[in-house]
Amino acid sequence: MKRAFPIFAVFTAVLLSYAMYEALVAAPTEKTMGDVQRIFYYHVPSAWTAFLLFFINFVASVVYLIRRNPIADAIAVVTAEVGVVFCTVVLVTGPLWARPVWGIWWTWDVRLTSTLVLWLIYVSYLMLRRFSSSGQTPVLAAALAVFGALDVPLVYFSIWIFRTQHPQPVIGGGGSIDPRMLRVLLINWAAFLCFAALVCWSRYRLERLQREVEETQALEALLEPRGSR
Amino acid sequence: MSIASGLTRATLAKDLRLEWRSKDAINSMLFFALLVVVVFSFSFDPNAEESRQIAGGLVWVAFLFAAVVALNQTWARELRNQVLDAYRVSPAPANSLFLAKALGNFIFVAVLEALMTPLFIMFYKLRALGPAWQLIPVAALGTWALVVNGTFFAAMSLRTRSREIMLPLLLFPISIPALLAMVNATTAILTGELSARVWIVLLASYDVVFTTSCLLLFETVLHAE
Amino acid sequence: MNFLYAAYAATWIIHITYLGILVRRYTRLRSEIEELKKR
């Protein structure tokens, strides 16, 4: 297992470089938006990756609530953190794309706004994890994750209703996509998925190590009440 | 189920009695309601034509403030007297406790809203150009949406550090769809430009989803240690 | 065009910042483990 990590890391780095080349050079230039449209190849895969990670967080949280399995809890915190990182990328690249194309930094675009709310929900999840006392954190966080997940369709729907009542420009464009662009998009998504897997793996190892240390410290405190410090 | 509802009623009655007896709390909340409306009136010029457009948002932001203050208060009292531990040990179903707390909070916040509304109408010269009766389901459903999740998250934040800030931190993101619905429904009714119906349906769905989730998960959260 | 490069750069800055945070937590954890081992 230990040997696999560096090999996978190198593979991912190569794939990411290739994907970036494809996005910046090889992919055809978009007719109306020009080169700026290439942000799309980073913006969309980051969004899909974030959503996938949050979905895994939801599943892990439900598993934790049912079985109280500590590994499920570890997976939950890992996917939430890495998900927030990718979500941040989406929220930064979105406006950077919108500004040159439509002249405004932000619109009530359904996808971008839903992503913002998702980001807020998961940041609040991470805050809860940080601020609650360690005995009850996993259960409370899992409950919050379930609430967050249930909220997602409501968020999307409410913003969609708002937009149909107050139409505004759509970031990210709709409609069909040129197959050459689709290919570059999928390559970038594959690359970012591998990257996400690497980061999650590292974060997971860190989490396990941290829990072992905490358990050892707790055990020590129990065995030596006077403290040897 | 009758034992549970009896318990709910008893807890609710107790909470309401306590609130009524502690006149301090009521007086300070009254004053708070007035202050909020006045501050908003200074910040957002009531004379402008845009008042009617933004009044929906203003009113609900004010109600949100009031709800957070009320929610923080109600659990604080329980904590002070270690009532929570008594609840955990008792064989009473956790749902009864939750329902009682949520209903108590709902009544508390509804009273605050009832106090602030005439003030807002006065300061902003509000008039509903659309079907005014619709404001009642909007207010009821909207307040319940805030209170049901607020009560749940208040219970969750009890043992956390920085408890008072934790409640709004958790509540606001999750409440965004409900807030969007409340504000847009109110604006639609006040301006008479659009139909509030779709927003009312959204609010009702939100309430159903989250009331169910709170009832299902409250037991777990209460015993989370 | 500057926006394009800004977006790509921002993406990697965000990712590298997070990885940096992880590395710092790891080194701090390592030193804690050394502490524990000594005792």
Q: pLDDT at position B204, please?
A: 95
* Mean pLDDT computed over A46-53: 95
Whether the pLDDT of residue B50 is over 90: the answer is no
Sign of the torsion formed by the C-alpha atoms of A58, A59, A62 and A68: negative
Listed range (A54-63, B98-107, C16-25) with the worst mean pLDDT: B98-107
Q: Please report the ipTM that was assigned to this predicted complex.
A: 0.91
Out of C8, C22, C33, the one facing A206 most closely (by C-beta) is C22
Q: What angle do CA B149, B150, B156 make, to 5 degrees?
A: 90
Of chain A residues 157-186, which have a CB less than 8 A from chain B?
157-159, 161-162, 165
Q: pLDDT at position B192, please?
A: 82
Contact (CB, 8 A) for A143 and B218: no
Contact (CB, 8 A) for A27 and A41: yes
State whether B177 and A155 contact (CB < 8 Å).
yes
State whether B177 and A157 contact (CB < 8 Å).
yes
* Mean pLDDT computed over C13-31: 95
Q: pLDDT at position A221, please?
A: 83
Q: pLDDT at position A226, please?
A: 62
Q: What angle do CA A170, A171, A177 make, to 5 degrees?
A: 95
Which of A59, A54, A87 lies closest to A73 in space, CA to CA? A59
Contact (CB, 8 A) for A175 and A32: no
Task: Check if B4 contacts A (Cβ < 8 Å).
Answer: no
Sign of the torsion formed by the C-alpha atoms of A9, A14, A18 and A24: positive
Q: What is the 3-state secondary structure (H, E, C) of B147-180?
A: HHHHHHHHHHHCCCCCHHHHHHHHHHHHHHHHHH
Contact (CB, 8 A) for A63 and A92: no
Task: Check if C11 contacts A (Cβ < 8 Å).
Answer: yes
Task: Check if A126 contacts B (Cβ < 8 Å).
Answer: no
User: Whole-structure pTM over 0.90, yes or no?
Assistant: no
DSSP codes, B61-84: HHHHHHHHHHHHHHHHHHHHTTHH
The confidence band for B119, taking pLDDT boundaries of 50, 70 and 90, is: confident
Residue C2 C-alpha, separation from nearest chain A C-alpha, in angstroms: 8
Region of residue A89 (left: phi > 0; alpha: psi -120 to 50; beta: else): alpha
Out of A24, A202, A216, the one facing C36 most closely (by C-beta) is A216
C-alpha B188/C-alpha A204 separation (Å) is 49
For chain C, the domain total comes to 1
A43 neighbourhood in chain C, CB within 8 Å = 7
Q: pLDDT at position B225, please?
A: 57
Sign of the torsion formed by the C-alpha atoms of A69, A70, A73 and A79: negative
Out of C8, C26, C33, the one facing A42 most closely (by C-beta) is C8
If you search the block for the tokens 């909340």, which residue do you land on? B29
Residue with more model confidence, A145 or A31: A145
Of chain B residues 95-124, which have a CB less than 8 A from chain A?
none
For chain B, the domain total comes to 1
Residue with more model confidence, B76 or A61: A61
DSSP codes, B31-45: HHHHHHHHHHHHHS-
**Which tens digit of pLDDT belongs to each residue from A162-198?**
888 877 666 655 556 778 888 899 999 999 999 999 9
Q: At residue B171, what is the residue type?
A: L
* Mean pLDDT computed over B44-69: 81
Out of A38, A203, A216, the one facing C4 most closely (by C-beta) is A38
Out of A128, A143, A155, the one facing B176 most closely (by C-beta) is A155
C-alpha A209/C-alpha A215 separation (Å) is 10
Out of A97, A209, A220, the one facing C7 most closely (by C-beta) is A97
Q: Which of the other chains make 3 or more beta carbon contacts under 8 angstroms with chain B? A: A
Phi and psi, residue B16, nearest 5°? -65, -40
Whether the pLDDT of residue C29 is over 60: the answer is yes
**Which tens digit of pLDDT belongs to each residue from B152-197?**
998 888 777 777 788 999 999 999 999 999 999 998 988 888 888 9
Q: pLDDT at position B193, please?
A: 82
Task: Check if C39 contacts A (Cβ < 8 Å).
Answer: yes
- Which chain A residues touch C if contact means CB-CB below 8 Å? 20, 24, 35-36, 38-39, 42-43, 46, 81-82, 85, 88-89, 92-93, 96-97, 99-100, 195, 199, 202-203, 206, 209-210, 213, 216-217, 220, 228
Q: pLDDT at position B71, please?
A: 86
Sign of the torsion formed by the C-alpha atoms of C10, A27, A197 and A65: positive
C-alpha A188/C-alpha A194 separation (Å) is 10
Residue-range definition of the domain harbouring residue C11: 1-39
Whether the pLDDT of residue B39 is over 70: the answer is yes
Residue A165 C-alpha, separation from nearest chain C C-alpha, in angstroms: 31
Q: pLDDT at position A228, please?
A: 52
So where are chain A's domains?
4-26+37-200
State whether A39 and C36 contact (CB < 8 Å).
no
Residue-range definition of the domain harbouring residue B138: 2-222
* Mean pLDDT computed over A203-226: 86
Task: Check if C22 contacts A (Cβ < 8 Å).
Answer: yes
State whether B156 and A144 contact (CB < 8 Å).
yes
